Structure 1
């Protein structure tokens, strides 16, 4: 498909990207790179070939072939559980929640939680997304002529959403403290250890994760307190007209096959999972989307006209989402260029063959989503920002585009995140013109998620 979205006056310009590795880094070079930015260990071959393999303490394979990925995520999902590295990074914070659990323990949780994210329930939470879009607009209007770090602003907006949809009607809590605790955990415990690269067993302590004990206690105490308070609320409040929020829905979640419900520890782990994932990934998507809109004024102007024509000055709602196709395509293309979960890791449970390559039990099999989404065998001009490529979704090969994963373990909150992103982006584009701040380009850096290092600094000019 030809690119129709090049910025005016500079057809050669490309949005910021990560330089990929063209020569072996070695063990310690790889460790330094991974602790600085996981994407810096990706070989340049990963955007030109279907599979790349190597050995560094452990045997590893990076897979970019859609059919092989389909095999891993769908056909042989039980043979490719989440990698030990992933579990080591996240289990201290979110236990054996839906994101970490395997086998029967995962299946019953998935069955119990799936109705929580039904279309009806997700649509019912949309007013809180619209409220957050209004508050973000008010803050931008107050900024006047000052440049704004939209990465931080979108973190604030999406954290307001997740806290409102989780704790509505409950007692107040310190939002800033919760976010600081989450951010501190990622900074302290989210970096890959040399022990991880060498494939050492998870019972050997990782120093960074030992240092995060205090932060973990803060996070878990907040979740425990919220659950206890909601269980103990008086009958009069339980019978109120307030619609169910995420915590209510989780408390009522039940596996219909076994009639099993989550105990308080399981609830806390899953609540933390949704709090962390529910704001961080959407905030990153919105920050990068606004960067791309400022990068390409023509796309921004077309999307603004779409939003203003539909909204007529009001805030976007769930009912508007299907009628904002270009806004949605901008989100889709943002997720292609800057996927929040830019690298997914699995451990092969038994011998297999992928793309003609021998896979042994115990091998690490990585799905580098960042490289998959820029693979030259799968995408036309893959480094270009071109929302038009999503005008015909059927033209996109199913397992070439995986911002939310796929198969039975596809992200359960994908519809929640997409609805929130479209509501907030459309509202902001209808009210502001975003332009880049010279010399302030963001740098894509992945620790646990793909963040914009240095922030997304934009001028936000209010529209008449």
Structure 2
């Protein structure tokens, strides 16, 4: 591919935005607050109501996420946005409350358990292929289809066989909540106290209550029904206990963590798949190479869990899609003690951001960083661990990372083995981040059987 052939990306800020400019940018596309120098420098600092720092230096990131993790809890803004929906679950809990939940949930995502759930992923991939076939030569929004596909997976592996579980209702509630509550408030930008109500979160209260009630009912029904032949995520969590304290999760803790897995476990993988398909349509040579690999490995029409380890190039495409379009484009922490990062003073209360989007495109860390080159990941040991953080790192690395990668490879391989994907002229995706980095105008492609 030539140097000029670069897939869609976000224009970064070339001049200071100020408080109101930053607020407007944050409410329309959070990535547009990133200064262009963030892809060329190890650190950028400023003040927009509160002191903030963006770090793109792998050593400083390691310090924050691993070496001094207790001194950099998740930011107040992150917690304020998500706590109404997912409580003090794994994603936002801190300290001892986080540690016991992590110890309890970690076995749920063991390699054995994730492999046991692979048939659900294969079945969802097959249903997606059937929908694509039924569409004929019409263009399809693959963002919509991948969201449907991954939500099928997460609902089936979370509440399998639960006839009373209304997955569509939960899906609608999640979308409604993100649309209202996911936008940054001026009160957050100014660093005002948590007890001052944020209007968007007040408006979303009804849908949150409905979502929680549906999950509570399903948990109660499972307790009465008991475990199925192959335990799903709910079975495993119900059976789980902290090996140190022997504590088990009560209904509200189960519900909050299950909703965390549902929220985080379907949209992020759907986005990865939608961007992967766009990139394959963007570069037909990559697509042809991936299809040849898939067709040589898959026996029959659908990839399985056993195939994943034999699909290294398709895994590289997924890795490169996560580099160019990380679902969590920015993660933020709040400093609790005095510290020094990249020779700059950090004070208690400062916001420390790791702009994953800028980190993954930093010219100091990546060759031709805006280009689509899956072969960057042919030797993963050559990639600096703290230069590539699609799932975060340190003790708070995403607990479902292996689940997500397995799912993405199974679905992508199944689709590439069966179809050729082409761009629709004039309908390029528009990368926009509110809570996650979405192709805001969809990913419109045509699919031709091969």
Range into which the TM-score falls when normalised by the shorter chain: over 0.9
* 2:86 matched residue in structure 1: 94
- The residue correspondences of 1:424-439 to structure 2 (distance < 5 A) are 424-439=411-426
Is 2:396 the counterpart of 1:396?
A: no
* 1:191 matched residue in structure 2: 183
* 2:134 matched residue in structure 1: 142
Is 2:415 the counterpart of 1:423?
A: no
How many angstroms apart in 1 are the aligned matches of 2:299 and 2:116? 23
How many angstroms apart in 2 are the aligned matches of 1:138 and 1:187? 30
How many angstroms apart in 2 are the aligned matches of 1:89 and 1:11? 40
* 1:218 matched residue in structure 2: 210
* 1:122 matched residue in structure 2: 114
* 2:255 matched residue in structure 1: 268
Deviation at 1:175? 2.6
* 2:346 matched residue in structure 1: 359
How many angstroms apart in 1 are the aligned matches of 2:364 and 2:145? 36
Q: For 2:447, what is the secondary structure of its paired residue?
A: strand
Deviation at 1:155? 0.1
Alignment counterpart, residue 104 of structure 1, candidates 90, 96, 100: 96
* 2:331 matched residue in structure 1: 344
Q: Does the 8 Å contact 1:313/1:430 carry over to 2? A: no
How many angstroms apart in 2 are the aligned matches of 1:245 and 1:312? 26
Per-residue CA distance 1:14-61 (angstroms, 9 max, x = gap):
000000000011110110000001001000010000000001110000
- The residue correspondences of 1:55-454 to structure 2 (distance < 5 A) are 55-233=47-225, 238=227, 242-454=229-441
* Ranges in structure 1 where 5+ consecutive residues have no aligned partner: 1-5
How many angstroms apart in 2 are the aligned matches of 1:11 and 1:24? 29
Q: How many residues matched?
A: 450
Q: Under a length normalisation based on structure 1, what TM-score does the superposition of the two structures give?
A: 0.96
How many angstroms apart in 2 are the aligned matches of 1:63 and 1:345? 10
Deviation at 1:222? 1.3
How many angstroms apart in 1 are the aligned matches of 2:271 and 2:210? 24
How many angstroms apart in 1 are the aligned matches of 2:357 and 2:101? 29
* Ranges in structure 2 where 5+ consecutive residues have no aligned partner: none
Q: Does the 8 Å contact 2:169/2:211 carry over to 1? A: no
Is 2:7 the counterpart of 1:15?
A: yes
Deviation at 1:173? 3.2
Is 2:20 the counterpart of 1:31?
A: no
Deviation at 1:11? 5.0
How many angstroms apart in 2 are the aligned matches of 1:264 and 1:180? 22
How many angstroms apart in 2 are the aligned matches of 1:204 and 1:253? 37
Q: Under a length normalisation based on structure 2, what TM-score does the superposition of the two structures give?
A: 0.99
How many angstroms apart in 2 are the aligned matches of 1:102 and 1:145? 50
How many angstroms apart in 1 are the aligned matches of 2:344 and 2:232? 47
Deviation at 1:313? 3.3
Deviation at 1:452? 0.5
Deviation at 1:394? 1.0
Deviation at 1:172? 4.1
How many angstroms apart in 1 are the aligned matches of 2:165 and 2:245? 35
Question: RMSD value over aligned CA atoms?
Answer: 0.9
Deviation at 1:312? 4.1
Q: Greater CA deviation, 121-130 or 166-175?
A: 166-175
How many angstroms apart in 1 are the aligned matches of 2:129 and 2:138? 14
Q: Does the 8 Å contact 2:26/2:32 carry over to 1? A: yes
Q: For 1:55, what is the secondary structure of its paired residue?
A: strand
Deviation at 1:133? 0.3
Q: Does the 8 Å contact 2:238/2:254 carry over to 1? A: yes
Deviation at 1:218? 1.2
Deviation at 1:176? 2.3
Q: For 1:232, what is the secondary structure of its paired residue?
A: helix
Deviation at 1:114? 0.3
How many angstroms apart in 2 are the aligned matches of 1:143 and 1:177? 26
